[in-house]
Amino acid sequence: MTTYRVAEAAEILGVSDDTVRRWVDAGRLPAAGNPAVIVGADLAVLAESLVDEPDRQRSRASSVSARNRLPGIVTRVRKDTVMAQVEMVCGRSRMVSLMSADAADELGLAPGVRAVASVKSTNVVIETT
């Protein structure tokens, strides 16, 4: 099971540590322990819900050149016997990559896993951190 500290979750979501702590205190993001630890799958659900919020400030990752690497979290993986569709939330942006099912398995991609999307032209390459 992939877990994240508050600071890691904040970096992935493109918000401050204090914002993540407020979400935890309000029950919007489940966390356990001291220091607080957030389960990756729970973080993925929140990340997906934040993508379309109109008042969300642009994160640093969403303002970089398209040729850069965008850190984020995997929110969904759909696989058949040959191909996989991997969806990520990187700051404010939703990224989708098509790759072989074997590649997705080798990378261990699943909702809640932290990854980096490398974008160039129409290609999105995802690698784990």
Q: What is the mean pLDDT of each run of 10 residues along the chain (129 residues)?
A: 90 88 92 91 90 56 56 95 95 91 94 89 75
Q: Where are the alpha helices (DSSP H) in 1-119?
A: 6-13, 17-25, 40-50, 101-107
**Which CATH number is associated with domain 61-128?**
2.40.50.100
> Does pTM surpass 0.85?
no
